[in-house]
Each structure stands twice: as structure tokens, then as C-alpha cells.
Homo-oligomer: A and B are copies of this chain.
Amino acid sequence: MFSPVYTGRVLEPAYRNWKALYARNLIAVHKAHLLGLVAQRIITEERGKRIAVAIEAMESDFSYPDAIPASVEDLYFVYERELGKRIGAEDAAFLHTARSRNDMDTTVFRMALRRALLGFQGEALGMLEALSARAHSGAEELTVLYTHGQPANVSTMGHYLSAFAGEVAEDLAALADAIGTVDRSTLGACAITGTGFPLDRRGVSDHLGFNGFIVNTYEAISTSHWLTRPAAAVEALMQDITRLVADLLHKASCEVGLVTFPDSLVQSSSIMPQKRNPVILEHARIQAGLASGYCAAVRELYRNVPYQDVNEAADAPVSELLKALEFASSAVSLVREIAENIGSDEVRVRTIATAFGVTTTELADTMVRETGIGFRSAHEVCSRFVASGNDPAALRKAFLEIAGTPLPYDDAGITAILEPVRFVAVRGLPGGPAPSGMVPVFEALDAAVAGLNSDLSGALARIDSAASALERDWQGLLP
């Protein structure tokens, strides 16, 4: 009999987590394993059918007790005990032939985590699609972009948001890769060295919809990668989100005002109607921060923990990683909401561009390209222009003095060169904000989104189809 403290602090919470999060997958594992035992003639078909009938019956008429019964270690033993009551303990024990709680549990956890991760991947893809859609629709929508917190260049919402979407696409490819680490069966590894029974490891893995099984049986049980790798991948995405949010908080501040949000995302003050506080940004930062911190908490559990079967690869950390995914899910939902609702303000773009001479760089570049003077001279000419408060006469005077010839632009010409739209239009090299520059950006982004969607659909279809096959074969085993 375990001590009340141990029961209350360890066994009971684990039992509750199992009931809530893992019990359904346990049944699938029972079915696949039993089918395998029968197919490999490790147990007789007759015994297999007896067990299968009892499992099927328990599905409809058995409920786990609310609290863990005394003297039982975990939910599985509650199940086995009930099975034993129905078909005798000896037969019930045969279900566990060539299986240990080690491989059974980690496969169950992997199934639950895989489902949660694929769900999250879907939500994150939704965010990415929203960012991408907003980038497409904002391909000609002017904005100002900053370096080191200072206005630097005019660009477009499309250029800006597709840059971040590119980061997200990279994060989600890495997440898909990490999910691949989760998506592998451990059944057949038994405790750590497999078994002498002739299991069909691949067949069982296929029945459960896995992408494969971890071959080395010791690695299958001892590895932390199925927890640490997705944790790290989610963490990376969350950290990127905090960067976008920090930038948007600046762009949305009332003094800058380059981006806008509808009332449905803004908290206002009862006394100051002009105060429009897009607190959704702060909350996205917090949810992303919590998700990131919790993923790190799970990852760090393994530091200096022996490369063995340890309880770090058991219920508590898995359940906590599932909670981290809930925060991550909130964060991506909020960012998606932001992407779907963010507006821009061209008036503010022009005001800031003028006030801070954002397009003056292009005036210098244009003079170099068109008049043949050097950069140094062009910059000196432009400096004097800015110092004059953007007086065209001063510009012409400076050019004449430095270049020795008159500036070949009239006032309208100067204004045209400084026009924000033109600043964007000339930047047509690959990756620049002009339409021709954005072609390869959007092509790559669209391809990445399509690829991610296809991979995700493929994984989900594989799992669904395996579930159908499992159920069909299971029905075949039932008398």
C-alpha cells in the first residue's frame, strides 16, 4: 500500500490525467496489440477472441472509478483487473504478452501528443494562411518599416507581413519535422530490450497509423526527443511571435499609428474615447511567452537525467506539454485574429515619411544612377537639402556647388523622386517591395503553405485510414 502522500501527489494526479487524456488511445493500443498477438500466433485465436469480446463489452459498460483504487498503481491495472473479473485473471494477463507498460504507455502518449500537435499545426497553419492572405492583399498598401526603432524605409504591408510569414513557414516546417519524431510507435520495445516473442512491430505500428516505429528498443523507451523536439519547435515559433507583437505594439502606438485595429480588438477607456488600446497584442505576447516558457520547462526536465527509462517520459511531462500547446494555440489564434483585422493608415505613412525624410535615401541613389555623381557627393547634397527643411532651391544650390552642373530636376521632379509610391516602385529586385520583387516572395510563400497543408492532410489521412483499418480488423476478430 502506497503512502497517502505518494498516492495524493503522484498516483492520483496521474490517474486523473490518464482518464482525461489517454484512456481512449489505450483501447486502440489494446486492439492493435491483440490483433498482432493473434496474427503472429503468439496467443491462440480462441483466447484472442475471448479477450476481444471483453474489451468490446467494457467499451460500452465500464467506467473508471473517480479516484484511483487503493493498492493499484495506475489506470492500466484498473483496466486489467476489470478485464480479469470478466474473463479470469489468467486470460486477462495474456493481453499483456510481449508488452510492458514502458512501450504501451509511451505509444499511448505519442498518440495523444501527435493528435494535439497536428491540431496545433493546423491552427498555426491557419495563422500562416491569414498572414499570407493579408500580405497578398496588402501588396500595394504603403507602410513605413523601421530599423533600431527608427523609421527607415517606405515599403508595403505585403512586404512586411510576407517577411514574417516566411519566418512562420520555416518554423512550421521545423515543427512538422519534430512531429515526425513523435509519430513513431514504440510497441515491441517492451521494457527496453524487446522480447523473445515474434512480434510484428511494423504491423502494429501501421494499425495505429504511425509513420514508423523506433527500431532500437532501448532508444524507443529512453529517448526524450518526442517531447523535447516538438517543445523546442513550438518554443521557436512562440519566440518569433513575441517579435512580431513587439513591432506591432510600436506601429500601433498612438504616436506612430501606422497600423490600426477594429473596435472588436481594442480596449478603450471610459473617459478617454481617443485612447484605443489594442491589448490583444499584449495578450498574444503573454500567451506566447507562457507557451514558450512551459515548452522550455518540459525540455529542461531532461538535463542530467540518466539515459534510461525515466518517469520524465511519462504522464506528468506529457500532460504539461499538452497544456503548453493550449497556450500556444491561444497565441496563434490571437495572431491570426490580428492578421485578419489589421489595417494601415496611408496618411500616417506620408506624414512620417515626410517628417523623418524616409525617402531621402532614394533621392541620393537616384542622383547617383541618373547624374553620374558619386555617393559621397550625393549624400552631401541631400544632407544640405534635409538641413534646409527640404527646400528644393537649397537642393539645387548644393548640387551645383558639389557636382559642378545644375541638377536636372525641377520641383515636381524632386517631389516625384521623393514620392513614397516611387520609393517602393523602384525596388523591384528579387525580394524588394515592388510587384516584380514580390513575385518570388509570394511564389515561395504560397508553395510553402501548400506544402505544409499537403503534409498535414497526408498525416491526418494516414491516421484516419489506419483507424478504419484497425476497426475493420477488430470487427473481424470479434465473433
The reply to whether the CB of A25 lies closer than 8 angstroms to some CB of chain B is: no
Q: Are A247 and B181 in contact (CB under 8 A)?
A: no
Can you give 27 A-B contacts (C-beta < 8 A)? A2-B265, A3-B341, A5-B334, A94-B374, A97-B375, A146-B308, A148-B279, A149-B282, A151-B254, A154-B193, A155-B192, A155-B193, A174-B229, A194-B433, A196-B426, A197-B429, A215-B441, A220-B431, A228-B239, A239-B299, A250-B250, A250-B306, A254-B355, A271-B386, A282-B311, A286-B311, A297-B297
CA distance A427 to B426 in the complex (A): 54
The reply to whether the CB of A107 lies closer than 8 angstroms to some CB of chain B is: no
Copies in the complex: 4
CA distance A272 to B150 in the complex (A): 11
A residues 212-248 in Cβ contact with B at 8 Å: 213-225, 228-229, 232, 235-236, 239-240, 242-247
Q: Return the contact of A191 from the options B96, B147, B428, B441 (Cβ within 8 A).
A: B147
CA distance A90 to B274 in the complex (A): 23
Chain A at the B interface: SS class: helix
Q: Are A302 and B216 in contact (CB under 8 A)?
A: no
Which residues of B have CB within 8 Å of A249?
149
Q: Are B306 and A303 in contact (CB under 8 A)?
A: no
CA distance A199 to B437 in the complex (A): 12
Q: Are A293 and B293 in contact (CB under 8 A)?
A: yes
A residues 372-424 in Cβ contact with B at 8 Å: 374-377, 379, 382-383, 386-387, 424
Q: Are B303 and A289 in contact (CB under 8 A)?
A: yes
Which residues of B have CB within 8 Å of A150?
253-254, 275-277
The reply to whether the CB of A24 lies closer than 8 angstroms to some CB of chain B is: no
Which residue of B has the minimal Cβ distance to A5?
Answer: B337
Q: Return the contact of A282 from the options B1, B181, B310, B386 (Cβ within 8 A).
A: B310
Given contacts A201-B429, A301-B290, A311-B283, contact A275 B356 (CB under 8 A): yes
